[in-house]
Structure 1
Amino acid sequence: MLEQEVKELIIDVLQLEDITPADIDNASPLFVEGLGLDSIDALELGVALQKRYGITLSADAEDTRQHFSSVNALVKLIETQRKK
């Protein structure tokens, strides 16, 4: 299940030791509210997603911010780019 993989990647990459995949709601915000991630976390997570899934992200694209809004949004991005 891709949602589970993405949650595990977030926890591993960002070293969120006190959080389990079950603690992360697929629809909850990843930044500010929700997990409370910041821009450095986004950069690290973006690099990890590119390496693991071969996706392309543009740091200055407006839609990149939307892709990082939740686990569901990240999964949708990965699935969309895998089909290309």
Structure 2
Amino acid sequence: MSDMTSSEVEVAKLLIESLNIEDIEVEDINPEEALFNKGLGLDSIDALELAMALSVKYGFQLKSDDPDNKVIFSSLRALTKYVEDNRK
């Protein structure tokens, strides 16, 4: 597993807490692993819940029709970069 930045740890904690994932710890998440399908196994409902949690915590809105969502949510690392670039 790659080392996580402090921002990646923060987003990973938010992901685990907002989705009520009980069987995974922050250190179990590879920041480059896919969040959906074969990676962490998240689904579209999880994406909506996570987007809402990110919006509340970081003060920006992710739109469901954003064509970049596939890239933004591709991994913890990509999601954290988006958060860092857009937080208010």
* TM-score, normalisation: structure 2: 0.89
Q: Between the two proteins, what is the percent identity of the paired residues?
A: 49
Query: How many Å separate the matches in 2 of 1:72 and 1:56?
Result: 18
- Post-superposition shift, 1:42? 0.2
For residues 18-65 of structure 1, the C-alpha deviation after alignment (integer angstroms, 9 at most, x for no partner) is 100001100000000110000000000000000001122111111022
Q: Which has the higher helix share?
A: 1
Q: Structure 1: which 5+ residue stretches go unaligned? A: none
Residue of 41, 64, 82 corresponding to 2:46: 41
Residue of 18, 32, 38 corresponding to 2:37: 32
Superposition CA RMSD, Å: 1.1
Pairing 1:1-84 to 2, within 5 Å after superposition: 1-82=6-87
Q: Structure 2: which 5+ residue stretches go unaligned? A: 1-5
- Post-superposition shift, 1:82? 3.0
* TM-score, normalisation: structure 1: 0.93
Query: How many Å separate the matches in 1 of 2:87 and 2:13?
Result: 19
Matched residues, number? 83
